[in-house]
């Protein structure tokens, strides 16, 4: 498994940012929820565990909090919460380099580093519009709270020219805020789905559809977290202040 060339040299490595020393080394792997073997994430996850044990490297390796249809463009993805970065298109042959250089020596392997210059939403999320893939850097994130951040971000960008976008996005914003606080009605999810559909179908331009599409991806892949907020008035991640 480790014999193939990883195409990583000393010239493609730099030290991670200062301030990461002392943080517990951790890797999360996008194993995929709907199509677990589509990009090979399961193989990378198992390979990392095996190799870390063989090399006696102390690192926590966990399945990532992600939603995947099996059609992502650059998987498998790894996140390193203690370093604040992602790797993409990871292969079996990269595993020893990742453990020895990134985990032990704190070096960034640039051929694997995920950088998306077109994504300005936030650096601790990966979002692929084409495939609907979404991944949080840290498993401790509440995805309902993440949805609130995303809708607030897009609401501030709306020009307000057309009613479906101006009112629809703001109604969606208010509804998600109520879910976060544990104040939402029982039919909040169906209301969200209706607002998302309206924003995507009736708006003047593509902006409302783009803004609502990422919320639909979060809702579709992490529906349980929304339902627990609404029905049980608690946060599965334990980070929201439920009233």
26 and 132, same structural domain?
Answer: yes
237 assigned to some structural domain: no
Distance CA 80, CA 78 (A): 7
Residue 81 token pair: 């919460």
| Ranges in the chain, pLDDT < 50 | 1-5, 10, 17-21, 35-36
Per-residue pLDDT tens digits for 171-180: 999 999 999 9
58 assigned to some structural domain: yes
Contacts of 190 (CB under 8 A, 6+ apart): none
Number of structural domains (the chain) is 2
240 assigned to some structural domain: no
The residues with which 26 forms a beta bridge, in sequence order, are 60
Query: Cα separations (Å) of 11 from 14, 85, 107, 109?
Result: 8, 19, 11, 9
Domain boundary among the residues 136, 169, 200 is at: 136
217 and 185, same structural domain?
Answer: yes
Q: Are 6 and 87 in contact, with CB atoms under 8 Å apart? A: no
Domain of residue 99, residue span: 10-136
pLDDT of 214 reads 86
pLDDT of 8 reads 63
73 and 15, same structural domain?
Answer: yes
The residues with which 86 forms a beta bridge, in sequence order, are 79
Q: Residue 69 sits in a domain of what CATH number?
A: 3.40.30.10
Per-residue pLDDT tens digits for 72-114: 878 899 999 999 999 999 999 999 999 999 999 999 999 999 9
The reported pTM is 0.82
> For residue 1, what is the DSSP state?
-
């Amino acid at each position: 498994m480790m014999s193939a060339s990883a195409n990583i040299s000393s010239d493609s490595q730099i030290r991670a940012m200062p301030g990461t020393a002392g943080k517990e080394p951790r890797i999360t792997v996008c194993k995929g929820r709907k199509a677990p073997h589509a990009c090979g994430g399961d193989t990378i996850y198992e390979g990392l565990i095996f190799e870390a044990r063989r090399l006696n490297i102390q690192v926590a390796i966990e399945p990532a909090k992600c939603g995947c249809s099996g059609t992502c463009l650059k998987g498998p993805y790894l996140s390193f919460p203690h370093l604040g970065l992602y790797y993409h298109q990871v292969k079996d042959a990269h595993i020893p380099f990742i453990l020895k250089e990134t985990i032990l020596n704190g070096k960034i392997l640039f051929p694997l580093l995920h950088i998306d210059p077109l994504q300005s939403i936030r650096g601790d999320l990966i979002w692929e519009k084409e495939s609907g893939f979404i991944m949080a850097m840290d498993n401790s994130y509440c995805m309902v709270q993440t949805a609130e951040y995303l809708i607030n971000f897009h609401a501030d960008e709306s020009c307000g020219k057309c009613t479906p976008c101006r009112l629809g996005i703001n109604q969606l914003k208010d509804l998600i805020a109520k879910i976060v606080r544990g104040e939402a009605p029982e039919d909040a999810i169906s209301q969200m789905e209706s607002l998302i559909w309206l924003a995507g179908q009736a708006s003047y331009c593509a902006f409302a559809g783009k803004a609502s599409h990422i919320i639909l991806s979060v809702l579709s892949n992490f529906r349980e977290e929304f339902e627990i907020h609404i029905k049980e008035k608690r946060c599965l991640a334990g980070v929201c202040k439920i009233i």
